A and B are shown apart, each in its own frame.
Chain A
Amino acid sequence: MNWEEIFIALPKLWDGALVTMELVLISCLIGFVIAVPVALMRASNNWWVSNVPLIYTFFFRGTPLLVQLFLFYYGAAQFDAVRDSMFWPIFKEAYVCALVVFALNTGAYTAEIFRGAIQTVPHGEIEAGIAIGMTKPTLYRRIVLPRAIRMALPAYGNEIILMLKSSALAYTITLLDLTGVTRTIIARNYLAIEMYFAAGVIYLLLTFVFIQVWMRIEKRLMRFQA
C-alpha cells in the first residue's frame, strides 16, 4: 500500500467527492419533486391516472442507468434536430445531462416507494378525515402525505444511498466525479488498488454521514411514537 501517493491524491479525490455530493443532492431534490405527484397519480383508483405515469416509472426502473445516460448524452446528440434546438446549449453540458437522467431515474424509484407508502396509510385515518369533513386536498396534505412520507423514510433513505453509488457512472460522460477523478489519477500513476481503496473509503464516509443525518430525521419525524 503506497500511503504517500494516497495522501498526494486526497485533495483531488475530495474535489471529485464534492461533484458527487452535488450531483446526488440536486438530483435527489428534483427527483423528490417529480416523485410526489407521480406517486399520487400512481395511487389513484382511476385506471388512466394510475397507468399513464407507469410508462415513466417502468422505463426508468426497467433499464440500466448506464443505458439511460448513454441514450440521453450520446444518443440524443446524434440528431440534428436536437443539436439545432434552443435547448442544445443546456444539454450540451455533461453535467446537465447527468442531473436530468439521475433525477428522472431516482424520481421513478422514489415515486414507487411513495406509492407503496400512500397505499398503506391506515384506512381508518382516512375515513376519520372524511368524517370530519376534510376536502380531498386537505386530507392529502394533513393526513395521507405526512403519514406516507414517514412510512417511506427507511426505503427512501436506501434509495438515496443507492443513488450515491449509482452516481459513479457520471464519469462515463466525462464528468470528474469521485470515480472519474479516481480513474484519471490511476491513468497516470497506475496505483489502481490504492486509489480505488481511497475512493471506497470516501464513499463509505459519505454514506456514513448520510445515514447519521437520515436517522436523526427519522427519529424526529417519528417522535410521536416514542
Chain B
Amino acid sequence: MKKIAIALAAVIGLGVSMANAADKLRIGTEGAYPPFNGIDKEGKAFGFDVDIANALCAEMKAECEIVAPLEWDSIIIGLNKKKYDAIVASMSITEERKKAVAFTDPYYSNNLTMVAKKGANIDPNNLKGKSVGAQRATISANYVTDNMKDVDAKLYDTQENAYLDLASGRVEVLVSDKLPAYDWLRSEQGAGFEFIGDAIDVNDKIGIAVRKKDDDLRMKLNAALKAIVANGTYEKINAKYFPFSIF
C-alpha cells in the first residue's frame, strides 16, 4: 500500500513539474504579414506583432516563446489544439472567430484599402468584371465575396502571393488591410502602385486570440496591454513602423 502511495506521489509530482515546464507562454504568429509579422533570414520572427508580444511578456514578467511560422488557415485550430497559448498575428476580432476563440481588448485598428497600378484608371466604385485579389480567410476576402459580386475574385493563401500576382498584373485590384499595404507600396515591388478610393472602414479591431477557457490569460494580457499603452512602450513600437498612431 505504501509503495503504491509513493508511486502515486511520484506520478503526481511529475505531473506538477511538467506543468511548470509548460508554464512558458507560447505565442503563435503567422510570419508572412510584414511589417506586422515576418520571418527574417535567420528564421526568427520579427515585426510589430512580435514586438508587442514581447512587450506584453516583459510587462507580465512571463517567459515567452514565439511560435512561427504558422499556416494562417489553420492558426486557430492550432491554438485550440494547445500547440500555442495565444495568437498575436494581426487577427481581426470577428463574430465568426469568437465562436472558436476568445479575444483580448484590441491592440490596434485596421481599415481595408484597394491597391491598383498607378495610372491604371480604375474606378473604385465600378469594378465590374475586374479581377480582384485578396488573402483567403481574412476580412478582405470576406469583403470581396460579400460586397463585390460582379468581379472575378481570386483568393490567395498568403498575402505575399497576392502581391506577386498584383505586381505581375494577374489581378488588377487588391483588397487588403491598409497598414501592411502601406508598407508594400514603399517596397521596390510596390513602387508602381497606389491606394485607390477611400479607406474601407470595416470596424476592424485587432486582438490577441486565446482559448475560450483561458480567461485568466486573457485578463493578464488585457492588464499588460493597458500598462504598455500608459507607460509609452506601445507608442515607441508604433513609431518604429508607422508615422501615425494605429491604436
Contact = CB atoms under 8 A, between A and B. Distances in A.
Interface of A: 74, 77-78, 83, 92, 94, 171-172, 174, 180, 183-184, 186-190, 192
A183 B136 contact: yes
* Interface size grouping (class) on chain B: 20 to 34
Interface string B52-78: 000000000000000000000110110
22 contacts: A74-B161, A74-B165, A74-B168, A77-B165, A77-B168, A77-B170, A78-B167, A83-B169, A92-B169, A94-B154, A94-B170, A172-B157, A172-B161, A174-B156, A186-B137, A187-B73, A187-B136, A187-B141, A188-B142, A190-B97, A190-B99, A192-B74
Contacts of B133: 174
B111 to A, nearest CB: 20
Interface string B156-182: 110001001101111000000000000
Interface in B119-167: 133, 136-137, 141-142, 154-157, 161, 164-165, 167
A92 B131 CA distance: 12
A181 B142 CA distance: 14
B141 A190 contact: no
Contact of B155 (A77, A174, A186, A190): A174
A183 B156 CA distance: 11
A29 to B, nearest CB: 26
A171 B142 CA distance: 18
A184 B164 contact: no
Contacts of A74: 161, 164-165, 168
B154 to A, nearest CB: 4
Contacts of A190: 76, 96-97, 99-100
A171 B73 contact: no
Interface in B65-110: 73-74, 76-77, 96-97, 99-100
Nearest to B161: A74
Nearest to B72: A187
A192 B77 contact: yes
A192 B74 CA distance: 8
A172 B160 CA distance: 12
A188 B143 CA distance: 12
B73 A186 contact: yes
Given A190-B99, A190-B100, A78 B154 contact: no
Contacts of B165: 74, 77, 174
Contacts of A187: 73, 136-137, 141
Given A183-B136, A187-B137, A83 B168 contact: yes
Nearest to B138: A187
B150 to A, nearest CB: 17
